[in-house]
A and B are shown apart, each in its own frame.
Chain A
Amino acid sequence: MRPLPRTVSVTALSCLALLYVPLVAVAVLSFNKTRLGTAWGGFTTGWYERLLSNTTVLTAAKNSLIVACVSTLVATVIGTLLAIGLRRLPLGRRGRLLGEMATTLPTVTPDVLLAAALVVSYGLFRTVSSVFDPGLVTLIIGHITFQISFVAVVVGSRLAAIGTDQIEAARDLYASTGLLWRRVLLPQLAPGIVAGGLLAFTLSLDDFVVSFFVSGPSSTTLPILIYASVKRGVTPEIHALSTLIVAATMLTILGIALLDRRNPRSSRP
């Protein structure tokens, strides 16, 4: 093979650096004794200790986790049902394509549009019930609305990969519809469902735009807290918090990748 031109590797590594240098810088600064500026003043874990005794931060972290867990759980169930429904409905070729587009579209719609639409909707619903006052409930519903699409897309692609011949084989081997799902489809979909759920979880944990629009004073999440704190000046405490969030997200993504590797390979010759 021809040796790789140096320019290719330099470009690729530069791009990677562009992505990760800021994150690494934040992580490094979160262990820096210097309170202001970027001069290295020695190693400390003090900022993490202060962070963990800061009740505002802890409340925001608790809110973030509650919202992420509940919304992920609900969105995973609804998104999976949506993917299954789209596959099973007798839509025809064009109908199916339309359905797939309608599922995918929200994943590329700007968040701010969704956020604005939610604010309007909640305003309308609020005349009926106070449940729609800005708070954890509106946050959770908001997150569910954008998570569903991601789950449905991930689960739907797994479902499509299973192929009709396995469904016919199960039927041929006397399986009822229930058995077909329990023994053939769901076991093969499970990694896709979990991967979709983990993706939804990271999206919820990191979401700022939608949360900013629909949360209330008592339902501040970590991204909103960081935004508010940064306006008052970036402190190493914020660096520590950001580092923790990035670490949590990376671990989740790693989980998705591992699950994907465990997917049974196709049986096709």
Chain B
Amino acid sequence: MNGPVPGDLHIAGIRKSFGPVQVLHGVSVDIPDGQFTTLLGPSGCGKTTLLRIVAGFEAPDAGTVRLGTTDLLPLPANQRPVNTVFQSYALFPHLTVRDNVAFGLRARRVPEADVKRRADAMLASVRIEALAARRPHELSGGQRQRVALARALVNEPEVLLLDEPMSALDAKLRHDVQLELKRIQRECGITFVLVTHDQDEAIAVSDRILIMNQGRIEQDGTPEEVYERPLSRFVANFMGSANVLDARRLAADQVVTALGDLVVASNPVWEQGSVAIRPEDIEIRTTGEGINHLPGRISDRLFRGDHWEVIVDVRGQSLRVKTEPDQYHAVDQAVFVELPKDDLLVLRD
């Protein structure tokens, strides 16, 4: 990188403890201007704390947060060019939708004529212009979420922080809002930093996913990368329901697992570690001769609409396998499973 770019967010060496509990262990990440980045992890991993440090609601014990060349940490929350969409939305119940959206502009003493024009334009762009005169308690959950988004975006922040903004919405609505959020981000070009524990949501909307675990960034990559190539046991488990197997290194391309000996594509760096394979990468065959073909027995199957989830018992171990809806297997049927060696991922731990 050639010198600082004005809108880039640089987070370096952030540490934070609450009493005896350390929630962030030196987190560093650079987020380029205009990127849709997601902090993904289970509750308690420190993702919300990191977001609150950027917003200015928490002060870190150590580390820096810079936006371009501006050091954000000395600035109080109300002077940072950053806005937040809160998990609870935190709308002002005594103000109308329009006054909620106009709050930030008025606080910065934008001329009233501009306030009205910009607030109304923003309401239109999130398609709630008809609700401008309503109060928050008269709105549905999805509508409140749009008001919260409009109230933050109307200020044209350098960075928009979104703290689990969809956790209060039902599944169908969440899907629509994800598409909408992606569209809005593309149109306005503002850097979005989303915090979520929902990996489907992260994959759907992000340019880049930072997977967090116990106060550290566990993996950093595009949605495709973190989904297809999990590097650690934690990521493999967290990103969808991969089969993770304890393994011991036998040779440069061979490991021993509870299922039997398996051929792998890359040389493990460990003697004891783990390998993973996704349910959709495992093939069920009726005859079995070849690399990584193992005999097993169908122990259960669930119809999931667009696929079958089949549980195959191999040497007492359960393997989750995804098959096409037209592929029918009876319970107790003897089969072979193939674990293609290119899909068998050698994890770092």
Please determine whether chains A and B interact with each other in the same assembly: yes
A: contact size bracket = 20 to 34
Is the beta-carbon distance between A176 and B78 smaller than 8 angstroms? yes
| A7-15, A118-126, A146-154, A181-189 - interface stretch | A181-189
Q: When the two chains form their complex, are residues B77 and A267 in contact, meaning their CB atoms are under 8 A apart?
A: no
C-alpha gap A175/B78 in the complex (Å): 6
Give, as a whole number of angstroms, the nearest-CB distance from B212 to chain A. Answer: 22
At the interface, yes or no: B133 with Cβ under 8 Å from chain A?
Answer: no
> Is B76 in contact with chain A by the CB < 8 A criterion?
yes
A169 to B90: give the CA distance in the assembly, Å: 6
Q: How far is the CB of A192 from chain B (nearest CB, A)?
A: 12
Specify the chain B residue showing the minimal Cβ separation from A183. B103
Is the CB–CB distance between A171 and B90 below 8 Å?
no
Q: Mark A158-195, 1 if CB is under 8 A from B, else 0.
A: 00000101101111111110010001100110000000
Q: How far is the CA of A265 from the CA of B89 in the complex (A)?
A: 15
Shortest distance between the CB of B164 and any CB in chain A (Å): 12
Q: Is A88 an interface residue (CB 8 A)?
A: no
A79 to chain B, nearest CB (A): 21
In the complex, chain B residues whose CB is within 8 Å of the CB of A110: none
**B89 CB contact (under 8 Å) in A170, A179, A269:** A269
- Kindly list chain A residues whose C-beta atoms are within 8 Å of the C-beta of B266: none
Contact residues in B for A163 (Cβ distance below 8 Å): 88, 90
Assembly CA distance A173 to B103 (angstroms): 7
Contact present for B88 and A165 (CB under 8 Å): yes
B4 proximity list for chain A (CB < 8 A):
none
CA separation between A53 and B103, bound complex, in Å? 57
A264 interfacial contact with B, CB 8 Å? yes
Q: How far, in Å, is B241 (CB) from chain A's closest CB?
A: 29
Query: Which among B57, B104, B135, B168 is the interface contact of A264 at CB below 8 angstroms?
Result: B135
Question: Does B83 make an interface contact (CB < 8 A)?
Answer: yes
Looking at B91-99, B226-234, B251-259, the stretch in contact with chain A turns out to be B91-99
* Stretch of B136-144, B310-318, B325-333 at the chain-chain interface: B136-144
Asked if A266 CB lies within 8 Å of chain B CBs, one says yes
Q: Are A165 and B90 in contact (CB under 8 A)?
A: yes
Bound together, the chains give a CA A169 to CA B92 distance in angstroms of 9
Residues of A within 8 A of B94 (CB): 187-188, 264
Question: A168 to B83, Cβ gap below 8 A?
Answer: no
Q: Mark B34-66, 1 if CB is under 8 A from A, else 0.
A: 000000000000000000000111000000000
Within 8 Å by CB of B155, from A166, A174, A179, A183, lies A174
Which residues does chain A contribute within 8 Å of B93, judged by CB atoms?
Answer: 188, 264-267
Q: How many residues of B contact A (CB 8 A)?
A: 31
Looking at the assembled complex, report how far the CB atom of A194 sits from the nearest CB atom of chain B, in whole angstroms.
14
Taking a contact as CB atoms closer than 8 A, the residue among A172, A183, A266 that contacts B77 in the complex is A172
Say yes or no: is A268 at the interface (Cβ < 8 Å to chain B).
Answer: yes
Query: Do B83 and A267 touch (CB < 8 A)?
Result: no
Residues B137 and A266 in contact, CB atoms below 8 Å apart: yes
**Chain A residues near B89 (CB-CB < 8 A):** 267, 269
Asked whether A174 and B104 contact (CB < 8 A) given A188-B93, A264-B94, A266-B137, the answer is yes
B87 to chain A, nearest CB (A): 8
CB–CB A171/B56 < 8 A:
yes
Shortest B120–chain A CB gap in Å is 18
**A93 to chain B: closest CB distance in Å?**
12
B88:A172 contact, CB within 8 angstroms: no
Whether B103 lies near A269 (C-beta < 8 A) is no
Q: Are B136 and A168 in contact (CB under 8 A)?
A: no
B76 touches A171 (CB 8 A): yes
Provide the residues of chain A in CB contact with B155, threshold 8 Å: 173-174
Residues of A within 8 A of B108 (CB): 174
A265 touches B137 (CB 8 A): yes
Query: B86 near A: Cβ within 8 Å?
Result: yes
For B103, the chain A residues whose CB sits under 8 A away are 170, 173, 175, 183
- Name the interface residues of B177-216: CB closer than 8 Å to any CB of A: none
- Whole-angstrom distance between the alpha carbons of A269 and B146 in the complex? 13
Asked if B84 is an interface residue, CB under 8 A from chain A, the answer is: yes
CB pair A173 B104 closer than 8 Å: yes
Residues in chain B near residue A187, CB distance under 8 A = 94
A window 210-269: CB within 8 A of B:
264-269
Which residues of the other chain, B, contact A266 by a CB distance below 8 angstroms? 93, 137
- Say whether A169 contacts B78, CB under 8 Å: no
Minimum distance in angstroms from B91 CB to a CB of chain A: 4
**The 3 residue pairs across chains A and B that have the minimum distance between CB atoms:** A173-B104, A169-B90, A165-B90
**Can you name 16 A-B residue pairings with CB atoms under 8 Å?**
A168-B57, A169-B90, A170-B103, A172-B55, A172-B56, A172-B78, A172-B152, A173-B78, A173-B103, A173-B152, A175-B107, A183-B103, A184-B92, A265-B93, A267-B91, A267-B137
Name B residues whose Cβ lies closer than 8 Å to a Cβ of A. Answer: 55-57, 76-79, 82-84, 86, 88-94, 103-104, 107-108, 135-137, 141, 144, 151-152, 155, 168
